[in-house]
Amino acid sequence: MRGRVLLGSSVARRDRRPDSSLLTVIVAFSANLLIALAKSVAAAITGSASMLAEAAHSWADTGNEIFLLFADRRSGRSRDASHPLGYGREAYVWSMFAAFGLFTAGAVVSISHGISELRNPEPATDFVVAYVVLAVAFVLEGISFLQASREARTGARTLGRHTLDHLWRTSNPTVRAVFAEDAAALIGLVIAFAGVGLHQYTGSAVPDAIGSILVGVLLAVVAVVLIERNARFLVGQVVSPAIRGRVLQSLLERPEIDRITYLHLEFVGPGRMYLVAAIDVAGDEAEHDVAVRLRRIERELEDNPDIEEAVLTLATPDEASLTG
């Protein structure tokens, strides 16, 4: 297809996958809502501190999925005059809200309740109810986690990354958030099960209270990691060296470009890049013709869904060339 290049074989677009991200959020929301209701009832019946912490955890996750739905929908809008680089960074704003919600509604509530239980321990009852709810919650969380893992593995495989490395570096905050929250939920359920079991075995509420605190600490760690990742993309995150190398090679393969002396690629949303490059145009045309050619190349680059905006300038003869 002459005059148009699929940059890096659309490596950034592979990082986005909006349809699968939306499905992942919907599955997580449905599972967390059912789990939150069940845990709340079980916490009221049993009086278990760990169960109450898990209920707070699930309600926080349920609310977070709503933020992630906003992130998915609002970040997908096309750019306009007031937002020339598009609305992609809204994904990180709403994902940041979700991470703060996980910290406040999940971590703070769980830790404070656990400390309160240590000071004023109360015996729990109806342990069988707690075990049943925890087992059902583990199955539902496992279903959501498998969906998030499936999407993460697909993205990692197409980009040639390890799954955990992909989750750390991906420009898609939705899949990272759902995977992290579901993983934390499964670990939290194991902690809660241990807390409830030790409460029943020892007759002391202390293990249950400690379980609540541990769940809170786990949520705090996950929230801080998610906040840090979103902050990086909000302030401007450059692409990985692998993606940069593929894009550079794709540009050098264009017949209109003799060489490139500068290339900047920055994520402005999930799978969307802002491209700035200094190039040496092939031939020796007049200034007006060169300007027209630069604008045409920019528009062709922006036809690619990976590129939100492209800005090209002319390289000077003394600048060193970049090689693919």
Q: For 8, which DSSP code?
A: G
CA dist 115 and 217 (Å) reads 12
Between strands 272-281 and 237-238, the pairing is: unpaired
Q: What is the pLDDT of residue 191?
A: 92
Q: What is residue 10's predicted lDDT score, i.e. its pLDDT?
A: 52
Mapped onto helix, strand or coil, the DSSP state of residue 75 is coil
Q: How is residue 322 annotated by DSSP?
A: B
CB 141 within 8 A of CB 189: yes
Evaluate whether 72 touches 22 at the Cβ level (below 8 Å).
Answer: yes
Q: What is the pairing mode between strands 272-281 and 307-314?
A: parallel
pLDDT at 4: 43
**Which residue do the tokens 């009832």 mark?**
41
The 10s digit of each residue's pLDDT in 48-92 is 888 888 888 888 888 888 888 888 888 878 888 888 888 899 999
Q: DSSP per residue over 83-128, as a string?
A: BTT-STTHHHHHHHHHHHHIIIIIIIHHHHHHHHHHHS------HH
Closest CA to 60 of 164, 156, 182: 182
Amino acid letter, residue 85: L
Closest of 110, 36, 111, 109 to residue 66, by C-alpha: 36
Nearest to 137 by CA among 36, 277, 7, 10: 36
The pTM score is 0.81
Looking from the CA of 263 toward its CB, the CA atoms found within 13 Å total 25
Which fold, 17-235? Answer: Alpha-lytic protease prodomain-like (1.20.1510)
Q: Which helix (H) or strand (E) holds 237?
A: strand 237-238
Domain 241-314 falls under CATH 3.20.20.70: no
- Residues of the chain falling short of pLDDT 50: 1-6, 8-9, 11, 13-14, 17
CATH 1.20.1510.10 in the chain is located at 17-235
Domain ranges in the chain with CATH number 3.30.70.1350: 241-314
What pLDDT sits at residue 20? 61
Task: Count other C-beta atoms under 10 Å from residue 274's C-beta.
Answer: 22
